[in-house]
Amino acid sequence: MAPSKRIELTLSKPINGVFYTGEDNISGDVKITFSKSVSVKKISVHLKAFSETITKVDSDYAVMQNGLYIQGPDTRTFHNMLNLEQRVFPPDNVWNALEGSSKPFKVNPGEYNYTFKFDKLAGVKPNCLKYHGKETIMFTKKQHTKLPPSFNNLTNEMNKIDNLDLYFYSLGKILYIVQVAVELGKAKSWFKPFDKVMREQQLIEYIPNKNDLDYDQHENVYNSRVVYNNSSSPGVRTSSLGQQLRERSKQSTLSIDPRITSLNISADASNSVTPIESPKMNLNMNGNISTTASSPEPSNGQQMITVNQSTFKIRLPHSGDNRHVMWIEVRTKNNGFNHLYRRDALFRKGSNKFDKVYVVFRSNNIEELKRIKIKPAKIQLNLLETTTFLSEGIANENLSSLRLINVDSNDNMDNLIDMNELSPYPSHMNPDSEGYYKMECPLNLRDHPSLKRLLFNEENYRHRGNMLYSFKSCAISRIFDLQLMINWDIYGEISLTEVIIDDVQLYCWPRRIYSRRTANMEPEYLPRYVEPPTYGDIVDRIVVNSGDIKQLS
């Protein structure tokens, strides 16, 4: 009969009280109680990390078997990323004296206490990289890959058949475990060739430091070797929906040098709603335009202005064909959307996010344009999540949307745009060859009382059990886009503009906070710990501690 035992594993709290980071020594205490004498070979504590992805193969991938088309099997991939061990019994001097002997120790009944501590994980690479061949498809470059964050720790709770979205979302996970293993010794026989091992373990949440969490925004595996299945619609094979979304965004994003003397972007419109055909461009000092696949980096201290245009442009009603066309531009310095921290202001003046928004017009009659009655009827900001699981070259993509704020005409939007503030588009004083002018008018979203108070993820929200952070690992990619949607009331007719900010890297802690008195700064991996409210994915409105109403869905 196995000896009566009790293993208690107590972990030290992380520095921030919520999750472990690369600056934490993961440590704790182990208490083991034996009710009678027992033979013990070794007691050790393990810190393990692994990921698992399952991809569902749809009906388009059927194989012929015995004259019948059989759907291909699902694919499953495991990655053993970390396995650190610290032996707590026997002590080092005894273990070294054994010189490899497996003879067990007789341990008397009683209670035994041990401590353990693992070194910081900052900069550690996953063990699985050594088994990735040259042809292995990954979401990151091998040389840049670091330990990813925990993901889907609550996967058992989410794996519900009655909710297909949560079911497919739970098919990928990254788990970190602290495990105590007590290896018992006994006489081996042919029918019991292995020693008995008693285990006790705890799941922990690990989120790396910023340097380990960052990834190259344009580093991906979107190529012909990857087959995409739409997890939200089982059995339907589609192209990458998230990739289509980001390509649509890149078709309306450009970066400009404010010192350029001319900037001419075509705004021809033959339909009432037309996609803007503007590839991402970098304008150099000579005014030459060169198409690029990624955002240009400023050089020699040069400041770049990134312009995110609305996906579609609108022909204003009652203005004749092509007479007046409008679209939206969101302008930031050096692409201020690259990184978004918790509690960052989104619309407040100086936030370098949505504080400089312009309505741009193309018109051949400026005086008539000024008389047009135009005002926002509804403003909505959404956070779009694209989570992709990869296994053996097949990827399942999960898309979801979180509403950050929603304001309508009842929330005092009459003064957000004043057509009397129309001015020529920067460096665009003269009409083009067809006699059209480019004009702009500020859209003062930063003055709206609700928008200017909005702080990103002030509630420390958990979406489907996970805090809001972006990452890319070997087989799991989680990226976010921002979607600004504005309904316009133009002579009583409603038109829609949409601006997509693609691949915004999110972090679940606030920015560095500088103290004037101490000249110290709060490390960015230490978020202020406030117990978040508990609510589900379908909650529309919640009340936070201060009594303010925050809207999410």
In this structure, are residues 226 and 137 in contact, taking their beta carbons and an 8 Å threshold? yes
Give the residue from 246, 215, 252 showing the smallest Cα distance to 399: 246
Q: How far is CA 139 from CA 55, 226, 360, in A?
A: 15, 11, 37
How many whole angstroms separate alpha carbon 539 and alpha carbon 553?
Answer: 6
Give the residue from 339, 348, 256, 349 showing the smallest Cα distance to 296: 256
At residue 64, the pLDDT reads 54
How many whole angstroms separate alpha carbon 252 and alpha carbon 298?
Answer: 20
At residue 139, the pLDDT reads 85
In this structure, are residues 134 and 43 in contact, taking their beta carbons and an 8 Å threshold? no
In this structure, are residues 52 and 173 in contact, taking their beta carbons and an 8 Å threshold? yes
How many whole angstroms separate alpha carbon 200 and alpha carbon 181?
Answer: 7
Three-state DSSP class for residue 339:
strand
What does the pLDDT look like over 500-541, one tens digit per residue? 998 899 999 998 754 444 444 444 444 444 444 444 443 333
Q: CB-based contacts of 287: which residues, under 8 Å, 6+ apart? A: 260, 261, 262
pTM: 0.78
Give the residue from 428, 440, 434, 438 showing the smallest Cα distance to 287: 428
In this structure, are residues 253 and 242 in contact, taking their beta carbons and an 8 Å threshold? no
Q: Is the dihedral of CA 162, 166, 170, 175 positive or negative?
A: negative
Q: How far is CA 144 from CA 48, 348, 387, in A?
A: 21, 35, 20
b/e per residue 536-551 (b: at least 16 CB within 10 A): ebeeeeeeeeeeeebe
At residue 529, the pLDDT reads 42
Three-state DSSP class for residue 270:
coil
Provide the residue type at 353 as one letter. Answer: K
Q: CB-based contacts of 551: which residues, under 8 Å, 6+ apart? A: 403, 404, 405, 406, 540, 541
In this structure, are residues 3 and 182 in contact, taking their beta carbons and an 8 Å threshold? no
DSSP 293-313: SSPPPP-TT---EEEEE-SEE
Q: CB-based contacts of 504: which residues, under 8 Å, 6+ apart? A: 337, 338, 339, 340, 470, 480, 481, 482
Residues of the chain where predicted confidence (pLDDT) is lower than 50? 1-3, 221-225, 230-239, 255-296, 298, 514-553
At residue 224, the pLDDT reads 38
Largest pairwise CA distance in the chain: 98
Give the residue from 29, 57, 56, 25 showing the smallest Cα distance to 43: 29
DSSP 471: E
At residue 138, the pLDDT reads 81
Segment (H or E) for 170 = none
What does the pLDDT look like over 426-469, one tens digit per residue? 766 777 777 888 899 999 999 999 999 999 999 999 998 899 99
CA angle 521, 525, 526 (to 5 degrees): 70
In this structure, are residues 486 and 496 in contact, taking their beta carbons and an 8 Å threshold? yes
At residue 283, the pLDDT reads 32
At 207, phi and psi to the nearest 5?
-130, 120
Tell me the residue ranges of DSSP E strands in 197-348. Answer: 197-204, 227-230, 253-256, 273-275, 281-283, 289-291, 305-309, 312-315, 324-333, 339-340
At residue 273, the pLDDT reads 36
